A and B are shown apart, each in its own frame.
Chain A
Amino acid sequence: MRDAIVMWRSTKLAVLSALCAAFYAALLIPFKAIPLIPGLTELRPGNVVPVVAGVLFGPAAAWGCAVGNLIGDFFGTIGPGSFFGFIGNFLYAYVPYRLWRLIMRGQPATGAPGQAPVFLIVAVLGGMACAVVIGWGVDMLGLVPYQVLTAVITLNNSAASILLGLLLLPLVYPRARRWGLLYEDLMRPEDYCEGPLAPVGALLVVVGAVGGAALALVMFLGGDQGPLAAMAESGVTVKGLGLLSAAMVLVGSCLFTRIGRRGEEGRVAEAEDLAQTPQTGPAIQVEGLHFAYPLSDAPALQDVNISQERGQLRVLMGATGAGKSTLCKCLNGVIPELQTGDFGGTVRIFGRDIRGLPVYALAPLVGQVFQDFESQLLTTSVELEVAFPLENMGTPVDEMTRRVQQALESVEMWGLRDREPHVLSGGEKQRLALAAALVNEPPILVLDEPTTDLDPQGKRELLDQCRRLRDEGRTLVIAEHETDLALGADLLTVLQAGRVAFDGSPQELLSDPARSEALGLRPLDIPRLFAELDRPERPLTVDEAAELLQLETCDQERWEEIATPWMAEAYRANNGSLDRPVLSVQGLQHVYAGGVEAIRNVSFDVHAGEFVAILGENGSGKTTLAKHLNGLLKPTQGRVLVGGRDTKGLTPAGLAQTVGYLFQDPDHQIFADTVWEEVAFGPRNVGLEPDVVERRVSGALETVGLVDQAADDPFLLTKGERQLVALASVLALKPQVIVFDEPTTGLDGPRQRQMMEALRALNAKGHTIIVITHCNWAAAEYAHRAIVMQGGELLADAPVRDVFGDSALLARSGQSPPLITELAMRVWGRPMLSVDEAVYCLRAGDTE
């Protein structure tokens, strides 16, 4: 059992056990299938988790599943039985792991068909060990008779592991392997290799397990004759024998590993030293930095040289994969301390080379905020989250209280200090992460794409916060995609394929649209306008531009040329068609389970071939509204008609071929082991014939351009490619209407453009496109019609041009128009939707 204790030395294994626990608990609760003993045992798929996790993650899974079961009990059934549930679930993962190691001698659990017999044996034995412990314990407490509970739990566990185990394992193993999460990857060999008593242990385990199995079989076949009668006479009970077998398995497992030394020296002294040294010299100095990840061909960073003084704000930009995150990780030692790879060059913080320093030592100097805010919030309350870093540093309690309050007040979250993290909004979560990074009062702050999941308001607020921090004298590095946000920075660095392609002032690059585009950024509208007008000035803000454009006139005819057909087109698509609308929302109201009214009295129709953008702040009801369109949510009042049919009587599965829905995060749906299988999932679900499925899949893959990757593992593709896989899987169902939930989030400029072009191509083919988006320039250039939601109500339903031209409406709904539209409205009172339109109207004199 030593391995079960030693594993806690590894932070990653501790995290893995927490993940197993949370996953097991989260899956035990909603996925109940059939009650076996009502209220006590249900037949459920979740029971496959301990076995599969056990053979992959070893003791981490054992602790995890034990705790997970306990947490599951926290939802109403804590009792002394929970104690036995804890031990039982621990064994349910630990026994398969130990037996696997014994039988397979180091071969990993890949889930290949050849391993099936061994897997089934260890799974069933593990299940029985769990059943015996829980059954005995609960019987002793007088809760449920032993005979019933043990048999039922064995059945439960065996059903789950036999039906699901061999299907689940081949899907999890390659990914766990790739991400380096297997037990062998994370622990040292001496922690799990066998000691001298191993053969004895093995014997005990086998006898115990086999004996237990035989016993269960005899018990099941029953009768008061034969062996059971003989036993009863000699005073031995079935229960007692069951317990003996379990004990043998346990003791045997303990004998497997040697009891060895413990202890690892901490490097405390160095950490304190760093915080104390005077901070002189440039804040950040990177020289000749080079890094390549272990399994990749191309280096992530090559020959990077950067320097930054105190009190400067640098924005780091570049296409996805250019190396922004890698560079951020190098700045606080995460690379190379926590990430293996080929590392070269020097990183100096205040003149001190940080190579070799543990990450926690640098925490008081460099704070970090990561992109995925979910994965950086670690505790169960806001206050504790911010106190956590201070606790680790051994800060005295009164100073902790002061600093926590200060940090929370600086992000305006002191009032929310008792909340649990999962009830916070995206913006609040990100601010919380910022507070946790700030509480150590680090002079340097690194933020890796912090605004990705925020709405425009949230983005602006976060950037303002960063500017305030810079004004206080801190040094900041922010990795970003949004070109507008780079305007407030002191320094702009653009990476391209791991090299520094530009390093200078933002004004210098952003006022050169051609160069911006060449470097993979989305050029700003205003300088681009001036470039295309052949004017020498390069203003960057609307105010500056408005001044300079006073004398430019907008040709009325040209304007009519653009605007009128556009409007006609928009109106035709909307009202002109005499056909029945393909979607009809009538008096929709939706109230969530807790009584929260998400949507109030919304009505609109959508006709075939329209391109609709749904706009609104976070929490205005956009996603809730969209989920009604394919039956995922049903109205509390009112109705939604799809092709004339009421969604109330239909399931999302039934509507899948009419209305497709692309979720924001492709990882919420990818599960198959090849791209082809993933895309084929949809057509197969709706019962199409195999040759039809084949055609649909090939067609969809061709449309998104992933034909060459058909046999690849979708989990291992890049984020952009995964998004395309998700799109292909929706397209394979050939729905008339396709709803896109934030398709451009997290993508860099060129890819955002690519995605919107793909949507336009689909619209041209005849699909009705509905897009929920924050990206107003995309809505302006691509959509005909905009539906603006606010506070659950429909604020406006009009052509996009009208919406973006109405400043009062925009102000009320918290939206801001694309910069070009704002400029055009200010100077000429006309809502121009793109730079091209503006150029066309203003250069009427330069006809060809």
Chain B
Amino acid sequence: MTSRFLYMDGASIIHRLHPNTKLVALALLFAATLAFNHPAYEAGMVVVGIVLMGIAGALGNLWRSLRFFTLIFVVSSLLWIFFVRDIADPTVVWSLNPALVERGTTAYDLVIVMIFAGLLALAVTVLSLIQIVFRDASQTKVGGWWYAAFWGLLALGAGLAYRGPGLFAQIWLWYLAVFAWFIAGTAVVMRRMRTPYALAVWIGLAAAALGLYLGIDGFLVHVHTEGTSFYWGPTISISKQALLYGPAMGLRIVAFLLFGLVFISTTSPEQLTQALRASGMGLAPSVALSLAFRLVPSFAHTARTVMQAQRARGLDLDSGGPFHRFRKSLPAVVPTLGYALRSADDLTRALETRGLGAGRRRTEYRHLEQGKTDIAALAIVAAFALACIAARVTLNVGELLPRL
């Protein structure tokens, strides 16, 4: 990611609107998007967003963010499919129920063997976890994708398999197993951030989240020890509504980000600061905001130079487990922070020297007027938003579930 702001200069209608208009319009569009939770309607919102991006001439920004948007859509959808609750009468599409295992059958023996194997796998995973997290650069690289998958699956199996006394311990083991998979996958991700391996880990993360949820609510865990037999296995039920709700939420988040992107692409930081100042933000906060925008690229540049200087002294930022990586960031953070703090005096002096604090009435160099275009644009957006909200509230249009 660059530290370049995403503002794309242009002369579209949207660019010419007053920043306050844009802010209010943004809020209205957010409200409209919140009105629905059906995927088709949320998709409609995404289309509106894309159209606005087109009008603003900012499709370049959209293209750049495409991968990120897709990723967020996938993750969000998957999470919600498994996490959504309060579905009144779900139309179950697929479900899995615990199976009854009777003593004396081969299945029973098999399961007992798996329990112990699973516990062993768990122990090994935990030990290698410790090694991974606290790994220093000098130690050898841990396995790879297959390694992560293998141990992860074993750990998962162990969690699934264990049936022992106490709900407490059961949940804990489940969490540990899931976390183990997550961390083991991280060992892969750390070296290869932007490749298909990363995708594999992300899918693993979704599964981990699933496990977390199921574990919390105890869907998975039913301790039925009835002497000679027990139930074994997870209880998962996916309803049609959930399958639709997930993508609806995914699309909703993309719509939000799109509208936000339209705003960022058409409003430069200085316009934003001026608009906020005109709306009554105090002088000192608005100067501070403007100063912050001005300094971000500067500090990012400094941070890069600092990292180069430390790398030239032998700091290897690309190796080691999370623990060591965190500690290694210190030689990069401290000089940048020192640099920032050192300029506090100079900046204060510069502000005062340039006349800040005179206490007299201030004039604005760039006076942004709100004109007829603004009123018209605002009216259109407001009408649209109100229509959406009214449709949802009165006619239940676009409603999948009776919730936000």
CB distance from A718 to the nearest CB of B (A): 14
Contact of B1 among A29, A661, A685 (CB under 8 A): A29
- The residue of chain A having its C-beta at the shortest distance from the C-beta of B199 within the complex is A38
Q: Tell me whether B270 and A79 are in contact (CB under 8 A).
A: no
Q: Tell me whether B311 and A651 are in contact (CB under 8 A).
A: yes
One of B89-97, B111-119, B349-357, B386-394 contacting the partner? B349-357
Query: Given A67-B289, A394-B362: A15 and B79 within 8 A (CB)?
Result: no
The reply on A497 being an interface residue by CB < 8 A is no
One of B69-77, B99-107, B225-233 contacting the partner? B69-77
CB distance from A688 to the nearest CB of B (A): 10
Q: Tell me whether A167 and B294 are in contact (CB under 8 A).
A: no
The winner among A11, A372, A383, A421 for most chain B CB atoms within 10 A is A11
Contact of A375 among B79, B273, B350 (CB under 8 A): B350
CB distance from B126 to the nearest CB of A (A): 18
The winner among B1, B297, B354 for most chain A CB atoms within 10 A is B354
The 6 residue pairs across chains A and B that have the minimum distance between CB atoms: A266-B359, A685-B314, A78-B260, A392-B355, A22-B295, A375-B346
- The residue of chain B having its C-beta at the shortest distance from the C-beta of A685 within the complex is B314
Q: Tell me whether A68 and B335 are in contact (CB under 8 A).
A: no
The reply on A681 being an interface residue by CB < 8 A is yes
The reply on A378 being an interface residue by CB < 8 A is yes
CB distance from A596 to the nearest CB of B (A): 14
- The residue of chain A having its C-beta at the shortest distance from the C-beta of B354 within the complex is A389
The reply on B268 being an interface residue by CB < 8 A is yes
The winner among A14, A31, A45, A140 for most chain B CB atoms within 10 A is A14
Name 21 A/B residue pairs within 8 A (Cβ), A-sorted.
A25-B299, A27-B299, A29-B1, A73-B260, A76-B257, A79-B30, A80-B30, A143-B76, A145-B213, A164-B329, A221-B168, A222-B218, A224-B218, A266-B359, A360-B354, A378-B354, A392-B358, A651-B316, A653-B311, A668-B335, A687-B138
The reply on A267 being an interface residue by CB < 8 A is yes
CB distance from A843 to the nearest CB of B (A): 47
CB distance from A110 to the nearest CB of B (A): 16
CA distance in complex: A35, B75 (Å): 12
The reply on B300 being an interface residue by CB < 8 A is yes
Kindly supply a per-residue 1/0 record for chain B positions 199-230, scoring 1 wherever the CB is within 8 Å of any chain A CB and 0 otherwise.
00010010001001101111001000000000
Q: How many chain B residues touch the partner (CB < 8 A)?
A: 131
Query: Given A79-B257, A145-B83: A384 and B6 within 8 A (CB)?
Result: no
Q: Tell me whether B299 and A75 are in contact (CB under 8 A).
A: no
Query: Given A82-B260, A370-B349, A656-B313: A223 and B216 within 8 A (CB)?
Result: yes
Q: Tell me whether A380 and B358 are in contact (CB under 8 A).
A: no
Q: Tell me whether A74 and B186 are in contact (CB under 8 A).
A: no
Residues of B within 8 A of A171 (CB): 330, 334
Query: Given A363-B355, A667-B339: A656 and B209 within 8 A (CB)?
Result: no
Kindly supply a per-residue 1/0 record for chain A positions 4-32, scoring 1 wherever the CB is within 8 Å of any chain B CB and 0 otherwise.
00001101101111110111011101110
Residues of B within 8 A of A11 (CB): 284, 348, 351-352, 356-357
Query: Given A14-B284, A17-B288, A145-B83: A392 and B356 within 8 A (CB)?
Result: yes
The reply on A168 being an interface residue by CB < 8 A is yes
A-B contact count (CB 8 A): 440
**A residues at B contact (CB < 8 Å):** 8-9, 11-12, 14-19, 21-23, 25-27, 29-31, 33-40, 43, 45, 48, 63-64, 67-68, 71, 73-82, 140-145, 147-148, 151, 159-160, 163-164, 167-168, 171-172, 175-176, 179, 181, 219-225, 266-268, 271, 329, 332, 334, 337-338, 358-361, 363, 368, 370, 372, 374-381, 383-384, 387-397, 400-401, 404, 420-422, 436, 440, 593, 627, 630, 632, 651-653, 656-657, 660-661, 663, 665, 667-671, 681-683, 685-687, 715, 729-730, 733
Residues of A within 8 A of B326 (CB): 33, 45, 159-160, 163-164
- The residue of chain A having its C-beta at the shortest distance from the C-beta of B4 within the complex is A75
CA distance in complex: A652, B361 (Å): 55
Query: Given A29-B1, A378-B287, A378-B351: A663 and B309 within 8 A (CB)?
Result: yes
Interface of A is mostly: helix
The winner among B264, B295, B352, B363 for most chain A CB atoms within 10 A is B295
Q: Tell me whether B167 and A223 are in contact (CB under 8 A).
A: yes
Q: Tell me whether A143 and B253 are in contact (CB under 8 A).
A: yes
Q: Kindly identify, within residues 289 to 311 of chain B, every residue whose CB is under 8 Å from any CB belonging to chain A.
A: 289-306, 308-311
Q: Kindly identify, within residues 305 to 332 of chain B, every residue whose CB is under 8 Å from any CB belonging to chain A.
A: 305-306, 308-316, 318, 322-323, 325-327, 329-332
The reply on B40 being an interface residue by CB < 8 A is no
CA distance in complex: A30, B306 (Å): 13
CA distance in complex: A387, B367 (Å): 12
- The residue of chain A having its C-beta at the shortest distance from the C-beta of B315 within the complex is A685
Q: Tell me whether B1 and A30 are in contact (CB under 8 A).
A: yes
Query: Given A22-B299, A374-B298: A670 and B322 within 8 A (CB)?
Result: no
Query: Given A363-B354, A632-B308: A667 and B322 within 8 A (CB)?
Result: no
CA distance in complex: A39, B76 (Å): 10
Query: Given A22-B295, A380-B293: A39 and B285 within 8 A (CB)?
Result: no
Contact of A656 among B218, B257, B312 (CB under 8 A): B312
Query: Given A12-B344, A360-B358, A671-B331: A663 and B305 within 8 A (CB)?
Result: yes
Residues of A within 8 A of B345 (CB): 12, 179
Query: Given A75-B5, A224-B217, A668-B309: A23 and B288 within 8 A (CB)?
Result: no
Residues of B within 8 A of A361 (CB): 358
**B residues at A contact (CB < 8 Å):** 1-3, 5-6, 30, 34, 37, 61, 65, 68, 71-72, 75-76, 79-80, 83-84, 138, 167-168, 171-172, 175, 186, 189-190, 198, 202, 205, 209, 212-213, 215-218, 221, 249, 252-253, 256-257, 259-261, 263-264, 268-270, 273, 282, 284-285, 287-306, 308-316, 318, 322-323, 325-327, 329-367, 404
Q: Tell me whether B365 and A387 are in contact (CB under 8 A).
A: yes
Additional 15 contacts, C-beta under 8 A, given A143-B256, A164-B327, A329-B349:
A27-B303, A33-B322, A39-B71, A143-B253, A337-B352, A359-B353, A378-B350, A392-B356, A593-B2, A632-B311, A653-B316, A660-B312, A667-B335, A668-B305, A669-B310
- The residue of chain B having its C-beta at the shortest distance from the C-beta of A60 within the complex is B288
Contact of B264 among A14, A78, A222, A687 (CB under 8 A): A78
Residues of A within 8 A of B289 (CB): 18, 21, 67
Q: Tell me whether A656 and B348 are in contact (CB under 8 A).
A: no
Query: Given A76-B68, A223-B221, A667-B342: A172 and B334 within 8 A (CB)?
Result: yes
Q: Tell me whether A77 and B257 are in contact (CB under 8 A).
A: yes
Residues of A within 8 A of B167 (CB): 223, 225
Residues of A within 8 A of B329 (CB): 31, 45, 164
CA distance in complex: A733, B312 (Å): 10
CB distance from A82 to the nearest CB of B (A): 7
The winner among A38, A68, A219 for most chain B CB atoms within 10 A is A38
CB distance from A672 to the nearest CB of B (A): 8
Residues of B within 8 A of A159 (CB): 322, 326
Q: Tell me whether B357 and A38 are in contact (CB under 8 A).
A: no
Q: Tell me whether B313 and A669 are in contact (CB under 8 A).
A: yes
Residues of B within 8 A of A22 (CB): 291-296, 298-299, 340
Residues of A within 8 A of B61 (CB): 76
Query: Given A145-B80, A222-B217, A669-B309: A79 and B253 within 8 A (CB)?
Result: yes
CA distance in complex: A80, B349 (Å): 37
Q: Tell me whether B365 and A397 are in contact (CB under 8 A).
A: yes
Contact of A384 among B216, B257, B270, B351 (CB under 8 A): B270
CA distance in complex: A345, B115 (Å): 87
Query: Given A31-B329, A374-B343: A733 and B314 within 8 A (CB)?
Result: yes
Residues of B within 8 A of A25 (CB): 292, 296, 299
Contact of B294 among A81, A172, A378, A627 (CB under 8 A): A378
CA distance in complex: A420, B259 (Å): 25
CA distance in complex: A379, B273 (Å): 10
- The residue of chain B having its C-beta at the shortest distance from the C-beta of A52 within the complex is B337
Q: Tell me whether A219 and B346 are in contact (CB under 8 A).
A: no
Residues of B within 8 A of A223 (CB): 167-168, 171, 216-218, 221
CA distance in complex: A30, B285 (Å): 26
